[in-house]
Structure 1
Amino acid sequence: MAGAVEMLLDNLKQLENYHGHPRIKEKNEGIIESLKRYLCSIKGFLTGSEMKRRKKGLILEIRDVVYQVEDVIDVFVAHTISKRNRCRFSIRTRTGLFKSSNSPLQAICKKLQVVNDKITICASLTVDADDGGKTQKSMGGHGVVGFENEINVILGYLGEQTEELDVITIIGMPGIGKTTLARMVFSDERIQHEFPIRIWVRVSSVFREKDILLTILRNFITVTEDVKGKTDEELTYLVTSHLKTGKFLIVLDDMWATHDWDRLRIALPKFNNTGKLEVFGETECPPELEGLGQHISKECNGLPLAVVTMANNLLREHLSVGNDIELRKERWIKTALNIPEYRNQKFYDILPNHLKDCFLYLAVFPYDSEIPAQELIRMWIAEGFVASQDGNGASLEECAEAYLQDLIRRNLLKIGRNKAGGKVKTCRIHRMLHEFCKTEAGKGTGSFLTEIKFSDGDIVPQLSEARRLSIHSNIPSFISSKPSCPHTRSFFVFSEDQECLFVELISPEAFKLLRVLDARRIKFVHIDSDMSHLLHLRYLALSSNMSILPARFSQLWNIQTLLVNTSARTLDVKPDILEFIHLRHFKTNASANLCKVGKAGKGGENIQSLAFISPESCTKELFNRARNLKKLGIRGKLSLLLEGKVVSFDSLAALGYLEHLKLINDVYPIPPSAGRLKSLPPHNKFPSTLKSLTLAGTYLDWSQMSILVFLEKLEVLKLKNKAFMGRIWETEDGGFRTLKVLHVEETDLGIWYTSARHFPELRTLKLHSCGQLQEVPIQLAGIPSLTLLDLYETNLAAGSANIFMEEKARLLKRDDLFKLSIYPPSSSFE
């Protein structure tokens, strides 16, 4: 949500001087400034303390208001653009659209003011760890009953005289009121009188020792930057020195692990007999469930949420269903998906705000589908879920990748497949969590997600407030029903079969505020100018048979990701993609011919990936402006580039951040072998930052590998579709010092002379469709880091797999650290 607010603030900045219309700012400056002020306050609240994250009702209210602000602003922008070329007078009069006291923007300002007032009240009632508990108010108030006995018992303990530091622990199951009880004791007038120094510290599941020590120190000294720069050991000494004498009460709320307590207790003076410490934490699983623990874990696929939910439910039922394990499991799952307690499970409540929308977004995808991690990350960015982190220099993609890893670490996502370099390629979500996401996403005034499984004759559901639509079947019938989706921001199609559709059937007015459109399961018969009316698109993925991307696509001035799958071999891109100032990723399976790029302009610096473009498009002007490229794919007659016939490979020298390069030699309509390349450019012509290189269809001689061995940072090398040809390959000393993955596919290689010294860091070796390779060099078994050998349709060499694996086991002294994969299975190996 904080990312969405940040993106909205950026939109307001653009609105102030949109396309050279300063009168928009002039006539609406007061309202815009108020909007920015309120939104900055909301952003501060959303990125604030962990306690604030628990105001779920307020968070939903903020989400709904932010949605409304987005809609009002974007409707205004769309209206301005539509009028701009028709009548200048219309623009001048409409720039004051929000000037009247009853305008949409004025009304939204009032709602934002109400929300900000609630935030102020919430902040005044919330104890942050930084406040040290000095202004703590009872969260229970006079309306909390039932804790009288417990309060009196704790007050009695706190009043006792002891010989050393007294530690009082209070533990129990989640949700029974431990924190509320602690607040009431902490705020009691008798305690305030008895303990002049009272410190409240929230520990939480993420233990940060330095933050806790600084929270304690704030009650004694001013914490300067010098103090913050001290080590944990130095801070521990300072805390101990201040607590050695004097009466104090410290409450440690939400202590999760005993080892965290062991680290913290070092700072507490053991021999101060006037000090009191209260520690609140959770109990372990009830002992009644220990006998079923392993079985439950297995049935839940190790998902912690499912384990805890089933265990608690089992305890409540007291084994009422007897020994029928399957019936128990069925009842546990059914109950877990419906009881209110499950809706409020701690796993979701303790998620940081920036992860909550990212997590719920997983409901967009059909259950049990492999979710492409790269696409998911780009969608998160387009939706505004990812906020830039000031000062650390990380890109939005790097921030989003960190979000993904955080969800995986919390066991809310499972890794499906990894890329060659080790990063996550696809991920999956457990069924129970998928159901939870769908249910939680339906809350609030504007539904976060609406899932539609449409059949002929079905009545179209009410979609006037739907923010995101996920269509799973029969898309032509759904579109023919002429749905009206004025507030829909995202539209996804996941039908099993690709369906043809005329773009004319889709009314731009029905989806005029679309921000994300993934329609690759629709094959548009042709694309005309209608698509260009979707002015707010940030993510567009489509399929067609088009060979031309129309010039009017240049109106998609917000576009960040543009993915075009086409049955054509080439794609003439009429708009200047560098004029898309927000563009980050452009990809097509065809060879894209880009229009001539000017030497100057603002666009291009945000582009992270570009593929596949034709060799003729690889100009110095393009790469000078798209100088921050990290991924580049080139497809076409590579001789035009590598041999300098039309453009020069030297143009890539401007790409100082390029890490991934794909070179696909496509010489159609002449035979592929006729387009054989003579040589590669010298190694110093390749970008020095290159980590991954893919070559395909180049028909190079194996002697050219002597050039690639000098790419100092190369970690992944993929040689596909006859990239190198020749019966013998002999490697040399001194090369491929950093290579971790080698993939050789479709070659006539027969004999490979090599040594473990030539690939000292190799981890994965894939040999696919190398039908003439006689054997896998046994010398490679001596590479300590090599853990995977994958043979696919490499039948002659499969016979040597047995010896290779035996040698690896002998060298590693274990047979479980190396994996051998052979397809089709080798009879000699069996």
Structure 2
Amino acid sequence: MTYAGVQMFMEKLNQLINCNNNPLFNNPPVVCETPKFQLLYNELGTLIQTLYIDEHQHRYEHQKFNDLKKRFTCLVEEAQYIVDLFLSSVHIRDSGNFPTSEDLKCPLNIDDVMRSFKSFDLEFMDNMKLNSSQRREETINHFAAARNSQGSKKLLDEIVIGIDRDAELIRDKLVEDNTKLDVVSIVGMGGIGKTTLATKVFNDSYVKHHFHVRVWVTISQIYDKRDVLIQILASIGVDLDLEKEVKDSKLREMVHKNLIGKTYLIVIDDIWNIETWDNLKLFFPHDKTRSRILLTSRLNEVAKHANSDGLIHHLGYLNKERSWELLCHKVFHGNEFPKWSIEPGMQIVENCQGLPLAVVVIAGVLAKEARSEKIWVKIAKGIGSYIVGDMNGCIETLTLSYNHLPLHLRACFLYLGGFPENYNFQVPRLLWLWVAEGFIQQAGNQSLENIAEGYLMDLIDRNLVTVSERKKSNGRIKACKLHDLFRELCQRIAKEEQFILQTERLMLVLDLQHREVFDFPKGMELLVHLRYLAICSPLDYFPSEICNLWNLQTLIYIRSCMGNFTSIILPSNISDLKNLRHLESYLLFWFSKEKRPSSLPFIEEPMNLQTISHVMLGDGINVQRYFPCIRKLTSPIYVNEENDFKSLTYLEKLNLTGFCSRMKSTVHHYPKGCANNRITFPATLKSLTLFECHLPWTDMSILQSLPNLQVLKLKDDSFEGSLWNTDEQEFRQLKFLRLERLNIKMWEAYSRSFPCLKQLQIFDCYHLQEIPLDIGDIPTLELIIINSCRHSVCESVRTIQEEQHDFGNYDLQIDVSNGLDLSLWED
């Protein structure tokens, strides 16, 4: 159990104490136990404050402190198991599914666990004492270590492959003619070679000549000001007798005296937080001597804070060729490599995924083994375990990133290790899972999903998670990945900490969408703690038992189909799921991967849904009344009826597919002029996709009036007519516009109509004659993509680019493919 798990249990205890709207918590047998819940809550609260919140104040051994935490979380897990088992037994008895309730009695007996907490509390207080003489001995040892080395990590010191260009770039920035004290940063994930690159620059002959004083400081895992001052003085060569007590103020004075008036270079290696930098920068004089500070960090935010205007060099992965060169250099020491090594060797470097640390460690393993193709093939298949099992510093380097994570991020990070190798995480689903698992802490009025997105961005900024795909429309992250080495590390730590150890009645997440369920699992209705349920099944009905799972937050129900067109009809009592926030349900045709919407004819009560995906809403459902909190809606509509979304004040993303009439709801091609009524939209809307809505182009003024619209996608006759004239009205915030399979012939537009447009895409608009030349004058436009349109359209885009080049604008890019000769298709 991690800190997030402890917090989740505390939240549950708080709900039990206050007896909220949860039907199980309001049950008389549960209410009677409120005093015990309060007692447990108070005891845990005190220990949590000391163990986690005030952790930075403790100076006793780090390993001993971690051992105490593990013991504490084990006790919390025991307490949680007792409470959840008690709640489940109450629910099962009340459900009436068992003939004799006597066999299911499970009293809330927390006496033993409370005694354990009291005993732990006493032992913990005894361990908080730190001997001052031990502290002085540590200081002396730090000084001796600083005198013998400059603190650079030994494991990567010799890696020089593939970083020459990086080193030149940083060196040139350090020695440029700028008198003020400047900060240059190297940022990247653990093991990427930041320290190696900094070392190469630090030892460069021109750098040595340029700077009078060069100092190397390595920041320890827990920042210690005195230790840093000692490292600086040791690097400068100042003699210091630490047997005598020297105050920190005196050490700082000595540092300032030895740096003032000199051109100095300070390398601060492996800095972990903003507060540390704010403290460190006070040590260094700003006397316009062209001095420089070079930082290395795994955190983007630290580099931006140190100098947002300075050079922040993001160190990326090695390509396959550079990785192979490095491997050969480390294994064969410059000698020619045997031909048999090429194929398994290439597989090895590919599995290292461009991480220099991984290549160096695995090279060390290969160097110790007999040189044979069989051994290399074996190592290539199990490279992760070889690297993580290495004891020469690799695991320590990777673990540092985990140890420096804030408590609220640790569970989110470890959770990623439970997925397959090279897994591509779709961001919305990942955030829903984190929320369901209880990893996200409520903060103010923000939704849990928005907070979860902030957690993900923090992991990305810390270079623990990499972005694998971005949305073309707005650049937001669509998918991400975890390096296999970090996956191995997550699994190792998760095993040590017994992370995500759940029994089947206590399960929070059940995802069966990637395998067909041919019969609804028996006993599913007893999983009352379940928060996330995803099922794929050929069943032609919606199992009513699902509506008893009152804790559900996310429900994904997919009906797999080979040829039967019967859609899913969701029951009206689905509104019993008071905690449900995300609902996705559709009919999936396996061969074509086509999705057909499910149907929700009526519901009994309003719901707190934020996301509705592929669900057709019935007549009796007033969206504002029944879904007042909706933020994202993907739904079919009837284009010959009123579709009023204006009153949905939280709605940000809307995807609409039109049907001509209720009688023709299964027809996919409609006659012209099918739409009789307008669709209205809320001012909060940021993203809109319309599909087969058959609206007249005159209705475009409705969209142009939306103040926050940033993304607009018009597909498959969403608008009908041969001419679109944008007139003088502006799309005030529109950044992305896509036109796809529309019957438009002429488009009249002006640059002032799209003051913020960054990207224009036009796909399969076979009748369109050209792109308005005025589009090229949009100052923010970065990219135009044309696919499967007339040659005349392609030529008009090239003309736009040529005109912009004449004006000195070389930033506008065009991507034109599959220009079609459609002269035979002319009317």
Instruction: Work out which of the residue numbers 436, 454, 460 in structure 2 matches 1:408.
Output: 460
Question: Does structure 1 conserve the Cα–Cα contact (< 8 Å) formed by 2:437 and 2:508?
Answer: yes
Q: Could you say what secondary structure the match of 1:661 adopts?
A: strand
Q: Could you say what secondary structure the match of 2:738 adopts?
A: strand
Instruction: Work out which of the residue numbers 706, 721, 726 in structure 2 matches 1:726.
Output: 721
- Looking at structure 2, the residues matched to 636 and 42 of structure 1 have their Cα atoms a distance apart, in angstroms, of 51
The corresponding residue for 1:767 is 762
The corresponding residue for 2:48 is 42
The corresponding residue for 1:2 is 3
Query: What CA RMSD, in Å, does the superposition of the two structures yield over aligned residues?
Result: 5.1
Say if 1:545 and 1:43 are closer, same or farther in 2 by CA, change over 3 A.
farther
Instruction: State yes or no: 1:583 paired with 2:616.
Output: no
Question: Does structure 1 conserve the Cα–Cα contact (< 8 Å) formed by 2:532 and 2:552?
Answer: yes
Instruction: Work out which of the residue numbers 595, 601, 622 in structure 1 matches 2:602.
Output: 595
Question: Does structure 2 conserve the Cα–Cα contact (< 8 Å) formed by 1:23 and 1:95?
Answer: no
Question: Does structure 2 conserve the Cα–Cα contact (< 8 Å) formed by 1:523 and 1:544?
Answer: yes
Question: Does structure 1 conserve the Cα–Cα contact (< 8 Å) formed by 2:507 and 2:529?
Answer: yes
Q: Could you say what secondary structure the match of 2:493 adopts?
A: helix
Partner amino acid, structure 1, of 2:493? E
Question: Does structure 1 conserve the Cα–Cα contact (< 8 Å) formed by 2:552 and 2:577?
Answer: yes
Instruction: State yes or no: 1:711 paired with 2:706.
Output: yes
Instruction: State yes or no: 1:357 paired with 2:423.
Output: no
- Looking at structure 1, the residues matched to 394 and 127 of structure 2 have their Cα atoms a distance apart, in angstroms, of 26
What's the % identity of the aligned pairs?
Answer: 21
Q: Could you say what secondary structure the match of 2:712 adopts?
A: strand
The corresponding residue for 1:690 is 685
Partner amino acid, structure 2, of 1:74? D
Say if 1:316 and 1:417 are closer, same or farther in 2 by CA, change over 3 A.
closer
Question: Does structure 1 conserve the Cα–Cα contact (< 8 Å) formed by 2:678 and 2:699?
Answer: no
Q: TM-score, with normalisation over the residues of structure 2?
A: 0.67
Q: Could you say what secondary structure the match of 1:698 adopts?
A: coil
Query: Aligned runs of 1:279-678 on 2, under 5 Å?
Result: 306-308=355-357, 310=359, 336-340=387-391, 341-345=393-397, 346-389=400-443, 391=444, 393-419=445-471, 420-444=473-497, 446=498, 448=500, 467=501, 487-488=502-503, 511-527=504-520, 530-566=523-559, 567=561, 570-574=567-571, 576-589=573-586, 590-593=597-600, 595-598=602-605, 604=608, 607-616=609-618, 619-620=621-622, 623-624=624-625, 626-642=627-643, 649=644, 652-666=645-659, 667-670=664-667, 672-674=669-671, 677-678=674-675
Partner amino acid, structure 1, of 2:415? Y
Q: Could you say what secondary structure the match of 2:569 adopts?
A: strand
Question: Does structure 1 conserve the Cα–Cα contact (< 8 Å) formed by 2:728 and 2:753?
Answer: yes
- C-alpha deviations, 1:270-324, integer Å up to 9, x for none? xxxxxxxxxxxxxxx9xxxxxx9997699989999933465688799999999x9
Offset at residue 519 of structure 1 (A): 1.1
Offset at residue 81 of structure 1 (A): 0.7
- Looking at structure 2, the residues matched to 405 and 528 of structure 1 have their Cα atoms a distance apart, in angstroms, of 37
Offset at residue 533 of structure 1 (A): 2.6
Question: Does structure 2 conserve the Cα–Cα contact (< 8 Å) formed by 1:571 and 1:591?
Answer: yes
- Looking at structure 1, the residues matched to 678 and 820 of structure 2 have their Cα atoms a distance apart, in angstroms, of 40
- C-alpha deviations, 1:768-815, integer Å up to 9, x for none? 222222333333222222222223333545632761563375167364
The corresponding residue for 1:147 is 141
Question: Does structure 2 conserve the Cα–Cα contact (< 8 Å) formed by 1:720 and 1:745?
Answer: yes
- Looking at structure 2, the residues matched to 439 and 25 of structure 1 have their Cα atoms a distance apart, in angstroms, of 40
Question: Does structure 2 conserve the Cα–Cα contact (< 8 Å) formed by 1:412 and 1:429?
Answer: yes
Count the aligned residue pairs: 656
The corresponding residue for 1:106 is 111
- Looking at structure 2, the residues matched to 171 and 109 of structure 1 have their Cα atoms a distance apart, in angstroms, of 47
Higher RCO structure, 1 or 2 (CA under 8 Å, sep 6+): 2
- Looking at structure 1, the residues matched to 419 and 730 of structure 2 have their Cα atoms a distance apart, in angstroms, of 44
The corresponding residue for 1:502 is none
Offset at residue 558 of structure 1 (A): 0.9
Say if 1:185 and 1:757 are closer, same or farther in 2 by CA, change over 3 A.
closer
Q: Could you say what secondary structure the match of 2:410 adopts?
A: helix
Q: Could you say what secondary structure the match of 1:541 adopts?
A: strand
- C-alpha deviations, 1:522-581, integer Å up to 9, x for none? 222354774323211111111124454333322111111111222566432225344323
Offset at residue 617 of structure 1 (A): 5.7
- Looking at structure 1, the residues matched to 778 and 324 of structure 2 have their Cα atoms a distance apart, in angstroms, of 38
- Looking at structure 2, the residues matched to 192 and 168 of structure 1 have their Cα atoms a distance apart, in angstroms, of 27
- C-alpha deviations, 1:447-479, integer Å up to 9, x for none? 54xxxxxxxxxxxxxxxxxx3xxxxxxxxxxxx
The corresponding residue for 2:204 is none
Say if 1:638 and 1:548 are closer, same or farther in 2 by CA, change over 3 A.
farther
Question: Does structure 2 conserve the Cα–Cα contact (< 8 Å) formed by 1:383 and 1:516?
Answer: yes
Partner amino acid, structure 2, of 1:588? S
Say if 1:723 and 1:318 are closer, same or farther in 2 by CA, change over 3 A.
same
Instruction: State yes or no: 1:33 paired with 2:45.
Output: no
Question: Does structure 2 conserve the Cα–Cα contact (< 8 Å) formed by 1:546 and 1:571?
Answer: no
Say if 1:172 and 1:585 are closer, same or farther in 2 by CA, change over 3 A.
closer
Question: Does structure 2 conserve the Cα–Cα contact (< 8 Å) formed by 1:699 and 1:722?
Answer: yes
Question: Does structure 2 conserve the Cα–Cα contact (< 8 Å) formed by 1:554 and 1:575?
Answer: no
Farther off after superposition, 552-561 or 82-91 = 82-91
- Looking at structure 2, the residues matched to 541 and 148 of structure 1 have their Cα atoms a distance apart, in angstroms, of 54
Q: Could you say what secondary structure the match of 2:729 adopts?
A: coil
Question: Does structure 1 conserve the Cα–Cα contact (< 8 Å) formed by 2:353 and 2:483?
Answer: no
Farther off after superposition, 809-818 or 30-39 = 809-818
Unaligned runs of 5+ residues in structure 2 are 149-212, 232-239, 253-267, 286-294, 307-314, 316-321, 328-345, 587-596, 823-827
Question: Does structure 1 conserve the Cα–Cα contact (< 8 Å) formed by 2:791 and 2:820?
Answer: no
- C-alpha deviations, 1:218-254, integer Å up to 9, x for none? xxxxxxxxxxxxxx9xxx89x99xxxxxxxxxxxxx9
- Looking at structure 1, the residues matched to 146 and 420 of structure 2 have their Cα atoms a distance apart, in angstroms, of 53
- Looking at structure 2, the residues matched to 49 and 808 of structure 1 have their Cα atoms a distance apart, in angstroms, of 62
Unaligned runs of 5+ residues in structure 1 are 126-134, 155-166, 217-231, 241-253, 265-284, 286-291, 449-466, 468-486, 489-510, 643-648
